[in-house]
Structures are given as structure tokens and as C-alpha cells.
């Protein structure tokens, strides 16, 4: 049977774009459709604009710290519209690069929504129908909001990047990394921030000590963090939004930002009708090679709900191209993935948490908490936390957790060592770089008692 394409990709985010480019460079005829913007959540309304906002929000604290180093401060104001305009220009530039790189690789791109008619046919919202030997689903995830009275007055992390003005009072609902990151961002930009999380502690799934440390540091920065609390209803008034809480209290804010998780964006694509397996949350079920139950249909990235990180989606896209178009079956290695959370202070983590490790290993824990030189001199009460989780019999480092300035940069390098199977002795043999915060990683000598 003759097909229009060897591969057709539905979704122009990080995973879909990488799979399309690598497949085209391997000699395949490739097409791709994207209904929103090329680059996906990460580049357009996720990692990149968020990190720009983290940078912007950090200057208020830097300006305060400068006084501790002898600088005289002047009146400080933040121009939200000017920042948003410049951010939009940067995102436009990045999207153009994504589209250009696809076209340079020979990928035919369409600004349209794609749905499946059969295992080899895609119907586009612009009326075009195409056929392909292989179809790749890379449609990512979308924010989830609960169904409660007044939820239409709330926004998500999609809309926060496009607010015309910065809210003076912000309520953030959620306790995951997106909620905690935006709590720091809005607080740093000058908004009075309240955060509700219905669970017992924020950042579920992270090391318990890291969770507690971050919560304490957030409160030090005047973020009004409440755990065990949720929203019952939201009412719009002449002066803002009145929020009724589960404890019966009420408060007025200007903006309610929901960051209560994301759901795989697979509904309405026609997958279930063709026999593609879907998980209870809508995620596309795939094997180790990203293939679904329908042999011609594959899926990569967050829509599969494996490890929802941009670099992982990119790796999955590359592995798909190697497997399908380079005759090199390549499963994706999802073990020991380093990651960063851009809270303030930020988190860098790789490997097992202390709680996970002690379930299956006899462990030693090495810990250091201290005020970094920069903050100590500036007079700021912000403490850094570093932890090594070590398998006692083999001395292999099972996990590393860092909270503090440049934690994300540090964990990228530490991740290499952990992935290679480094032991505590390997860390000890490494000469420290002085004076740095990172030197604590190689100078912790005694495990925590008990």
C-alpha cells in the first residue's frame, strides 16, 4: 500500500518535533500538525516563559541583598506589561526556530488539529486527509481544574503568562512543583501570595526533608502557605474574587491560579475507537519502544504519562526515530533522571528519596545544612540543604537532593556521577572547589546517626 508519508506526527511539542526531525534526517518522508503553536507547553507556556519569570522575580531579593554588600538602593518598581511584551517577543522567536528547523529537515508542517480515522489515516481540521505508514501521538498534557462554583473565574498556568496586569493579591491552589514555582514568582514580583494545598505537605513525591525545608523557606519569604486547606467556591465581586475555604474562612484576592495537576491531552483523537489502550487518566499506553496496541501508532512525551519532563520527551522522540527508521531498537531509559524545580530556593534532585531508599535498601544518609556565603554576608536567613542517600553495603550513591542557589545547575553534573554508579568513596576522593556551596557534596564525612 502506498502512503502519503512514512511518518505523520500529531503534536508539535518537544517530543513530536524531535521525533519528526530525526526521522526526516534518517530519510523518512515526514509530516507534522500542531493546532496551537510549535514548541509545545515547554517552550510556549511552560518551562521557558516560567524560567524567564523566575529570573524577573529574583531581582527584588537581589536588590535587597545588594544593600548588604554596600550598594545603595533606589526606588524599585516592576513593569509587568513591559516584561510580558518582551517575553512574548522571545517566545515568538523560539517558535520560529522550531518551525524553521522542522522545515530545514524536510518536514511538512500544518497549523491544524489532527484526529485519527483509521490506523493509517489522519484527518486535519483544515479539511485535508493524509495517510501514513506510522502515526506518532505527541499531544502533551493540559491543566486540570476541579468542578466547583465559580471555577470560571480562576486561571491556570496557561493564562498566567498573558495577564494584562500583575495581580496585587494572588491565591495559588495546589502543592506540586508548578504551584510552588508560581508562588515564588508572584511573591518575588510583589504580589501578596497565599497558597492552599489540600494535602499534609507540598511537593508530594519529593524527599520529605526537602519538602519541609522548602515549605519553611517559602514561609520565610512571606508566602502565606496553608496545607490541609482547599477552595469550596469562588465569587466575583466589584473589588476582586471572594474565596470560600474548606475551613469556613473567606478571603478576597485579585487572582486565583489553579495548579492542581495536568491531564494527558488524548481525548477526541479517535484513539480508543481504534483499539489504542488508554489509562484511567487518559494517558496513551505504550511499550518500552513507545508503541501502542495498534502497531502503526506510537506515542511519546507527556501524553503517555511516563516521566513528564521536556528532556524525557525529547529522548523518547529520538528513541522512536532510532527504533522505527534506523533499524536500531532503542528503549528509553527512565531511571535516574536528574531534575530541577525552580522554587525559590530551587531544588535539584536525582535518584531515590530517603523514604523510597529505605524500603529496599539498608541506607546511610549524609546531610549538610548551612547558610551560603552570599546570604550569610548579605544578612539573609536562608539555609541550604544537601543530602546524599547511600546504600550501606555497596556504598553506591542512590540519591542526591539539593535545595539552594544553583541547585539545578549542580544536579545536572551530579546526575552524571549517580548514573555512572558513583560510590560515596568516589565523592570523597573528589577535591572540593573552594569557596563554593557545591563543595559540601564532597566533604560530608559522617552519616546522620540512626
Question: Which residues touch 81 (CB under 8 Å, ≥6 apart)?
Answer: 164, 165
Catalytic positions, please?
434
Q: Cα-flanking dihedrals φ and ψ of residue 130, to 5°?
A: -130, 160
Q: Is 443 helix (H, G, I), strand (E, B) or coil?
A: coil
Instruction: Round to whole Å and give the CA distance between 303 and 282.
Output: 8
Q: Which three cell numbers stand for residue 58?
A: 529574583
User: Which residues pair with residue 256 across a beta bridge?
Assistant: 171
Long-range own/partner contacts, residues 208-212 (CB < 8 A, 24 or more apart): 208/353, 208/354, 208/355, 209/354, 209/367, 209/385, 209/387, 209/401, 210/347, 210/349, 210/353, 210/385, 210/387, 210/401, 210/403
| Under 8 Å between Cβ of 290 and 299 | yes
Residue 133 C-beta-side C-alpha neighbours within 13 Å: 12
| Under 8 Å between Cβ of 259 and 154 | no
Q: Is 34 helix (H, G, I), strand (E, B) or coil?
A: coil
Instruction: Round to whole Å and give the CA distance between 162 and 25.
Output: 36
Amino acid at each position: 500500500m502506498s502512503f502519503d508519508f512514512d511518518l505523520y506526527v500529531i503534536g508539535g511539542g518537544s517530543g513530536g518535533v524531535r521525533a519528526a526531525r530525526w526521522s526526516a534526517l534518517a530519510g523518512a518522508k515526514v509530516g507534522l500538525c500542531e493546532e496551537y503553536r510549535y514548541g509545545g507547553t515547554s517552550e510556549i507556556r511552560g518551562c521557558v516563559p516560567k524560567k524567564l519569570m523566575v529570573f524577573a522575580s529574583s531581582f527584588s531579593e537581589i536588590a535587597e541583598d545588594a544593600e548588604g554588600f554596600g550598594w545603595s538602593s533606589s526606588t524599585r518598581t516592576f513593569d509587568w506589561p513591559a516584561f510580558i511584551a518582551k517575553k512574548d517577543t522571545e517566545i515568538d522567536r523560539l517558535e520560529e526556530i522550531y518551525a524553521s528547523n522542522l522545515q530545514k529537515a524536510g518536514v511538512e508542517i500544518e497549523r491544524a488539529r489532527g484526529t485519527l480515522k483509521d490506523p493509517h489515516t489522519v484527518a486535519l481540521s483544515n479539511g485535508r486527509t493524509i495517510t501514513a505508514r506510522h502515526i506518532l501521538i505527541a499531544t502533551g498534557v493540559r491543566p486540570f481544574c476541579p468542578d466547583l462554583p465559580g471555577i470560571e473565574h480562576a486561571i491556570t498556568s496557561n493564562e498566567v503568562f498573558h495577564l494584562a496586569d500583575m495581580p496585587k493579591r494572588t491565591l495559588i491552589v495546589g502543592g506540586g512543583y508548578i504551584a510552588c514555582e508560581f508562588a515564588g514568582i508572584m511573591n518575588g514580583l510583589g504580589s501578596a501570595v497565599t497558597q492552599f494545598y489540600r494535602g499534609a505537605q507540598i511537593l508530594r513525591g519529593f524527599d520529605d526533608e526537602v519538602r519541609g525545608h522548602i515549605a519553611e523557606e517559602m514561609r520565610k519569604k512571606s508566602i502565606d502557605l496553608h496545607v490541609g486547606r482547599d477552595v469550596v467556591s469562588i465569587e466575583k465581586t466589584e473589588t476582586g474574587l471572594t474565596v470560600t475555604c474548606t475551613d469556613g474562612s473567606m478571603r478576597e484576592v485579585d487572582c486565583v491560579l489553579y495548579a492542581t495537576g495536568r491531564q494527558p491531552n488524548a481525548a477526541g483523537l479517535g484513539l480508543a475507537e481504534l483499539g489504542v489502550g488508554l489509562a484511567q487518566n487518559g494517558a496513551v499506553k505504550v511499550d518500552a519502544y513507545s508503541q501502542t496496541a495498534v502497531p502503526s501508532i506510537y506515542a511519546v512525551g507527556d501524553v503517555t504519562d511516563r516521566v513528564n519532563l521536556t528532556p524525557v520527551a525529547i529522548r523518547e522522540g529520538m528513541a522512536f526515530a532510532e527504533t522505527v527508521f534506523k533499524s536500531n531498537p532503542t528503549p528509553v531509559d527512565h531511571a535516574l533522571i536528574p531534575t530541577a524545580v525552580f522554587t525559590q530556593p530551587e531544588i535539584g534532585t536525582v535518584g531515590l528519596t530517603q523514604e523510597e531508599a529505605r524500603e529496599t535498601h539498608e541506607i546511610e544518609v549524609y546531610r549538610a545544612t548551612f547558610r551560603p556565603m552570599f546570604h550569610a554576608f548579605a544578612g539573609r536567613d536562608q539555609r541550604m540543604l544537601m543530602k546524599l542517600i547511600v546504600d550501606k553495603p555497596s556504598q553506591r550513591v542512590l540519591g542526591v537532593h539539593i535545595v539552594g542557589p544553583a541547585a539545578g545547575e549542580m544536579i545536572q553534573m551530579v546526575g552524571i556521577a549517580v548514573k555512572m554508579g558513583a560510590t560515596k568513596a568516589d565523592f570523597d576522593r573528589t577535591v572540593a572547589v573552594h569557596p563554593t556551596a557545591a563543595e559540601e557534596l564532597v566533604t560530608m564525612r559522617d552519616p546522620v546517626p540512626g
